[in-house]
């Protein structure tokens, strides 16, 4: 990476559901793919098929089935995420590795290639609170390529917006679990 810009973003999000449910949702690549804005692909590098199905069904299943669907430490994923930075649309190819997954903490390291050229580390921690939990997500990256020329604040703002939108979509799905059937169907299309 030639010239790079260091960025750091921290986002906290309160959830009004049990931390174990939030942990499963945050660890589920299917839910992540569906809730992450601009995500057009997210798949394990290893030859592993990701089953479909709603977060409601995943939370209702046995622990062994949940563990088979959620991410594991050492597992690598390829993702494609679209985002806009300062009015320019970029498609970001991400190679991410879950380096730690031990409830309530997760660490993901990644490399972003092509014309963006970045290395990142994201940490996630859940803290139990009365009536739910608080998720703290922190990302640090050295960004090069096309985005290195942009204002650091513009890049951090974009990352914050995408992460906040992801947490909003995830919160909607989790909140719908206790709501009326019509709301569950709208907010979690795969709900059964």
* pLDDT, tens digit (0-9, with 9 covering 90-100), for 54-111: 888 888 888 888 888 899 999 999 999 888 777 777 788 899 999 999 999 999 999 8
pLDDT at 140: 95
- pLDDT at residue 182, as a whole number: 46
Q: Does an H or E element contain 76, and which? A: strand 76-85
* Res. 184: pLDDT tops 70: no
pLDDT of 180 reads 52
Give me the pLDDT at residue 18, please.
Answer: 93
* DSSP H or E run through 165: helix 152-176
Q: Is the pLDDT of residue 48 over 70?
A: yes
- Six token digits for residue 176: 């719908």
154 band by pLDDT with thresholds 50, 70 and 90? confident
Can you give the pLDDT at residue 1? 47
What is the DSSP secondary-structure string of 57-116?
A: HHHHS-HHHHHHHS--TT-EEEEEEEEEETTEEEEEEEEEEEEEEETTEEEEEEEE-TTT
Predicted local distance difference test score (pLDDT) of residue 170: 95
pLDDT-based confidence at residue 25 (cuts at 50, 70, 90) = very high
Q: Supply the pLDDT for residue 57.
A: 83
Cα 102 to Cα 104: distance, rounded to the nearest angstrom = 6
pLDDT digits (tens, 9 = 90+) for 104-153: 999 999 988 765 678 899 999 999 999 999 999 999 988 877 666 667 78
CA neighbor of 125 nearest in space, from 26, 7, 39, 8: 26
pLDDT-derived band at 192, boundaries 50, 70, 90: very low
Instruction: Return the CATH superfamily for domain 5-187.
Output: START domain (3.30.530.20)
What's the mean pLDDT in 25-29? 94
User: Looking at residue 55, what is its pLDDT?
Assistant: 84
Per-domain residue ranges of the chain: 5-187
């Amino acid at each position: 990476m030639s010239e790079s810009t260091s960025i750091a973003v921290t986002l906290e999000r309160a959830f009004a559901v049990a931390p174990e449910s939030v942990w499963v949702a945050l660890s589920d690549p299917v839910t992540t793919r569906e809730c992450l804005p601009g995500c057009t692909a997210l798949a394990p590098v290893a030859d592993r098929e990701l089953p479909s199905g709603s977060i409601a069904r995943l939370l209702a299943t046995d622990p062994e089935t949940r563990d088979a669907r959620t991410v594991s430490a050492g597992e690598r994923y390829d993702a494609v995420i679209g985002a806009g930075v300062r009015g320019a649309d970029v498609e970001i190819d991400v190679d991410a590795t879950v380096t730690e997954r031990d409830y309530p903490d997760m660490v993901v390291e990644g490399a972003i290639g092509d014309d963006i050229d970045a290395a990142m580390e994201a940490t996630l921690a859940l803290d139990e609170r009365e009536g739910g939990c608080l998720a703290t997500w922190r990302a640090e990256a050295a960004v090069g390529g096309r985005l290195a020329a942009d204002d650091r604040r513009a890049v951090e703002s974009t990352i914050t917006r995408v992460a906040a939108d992801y947490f909003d979509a995830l919160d909607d799905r989790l909140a719908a679990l206790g709501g009326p059937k019509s709301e569950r169907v709208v907010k979690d299309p795969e709900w059964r």
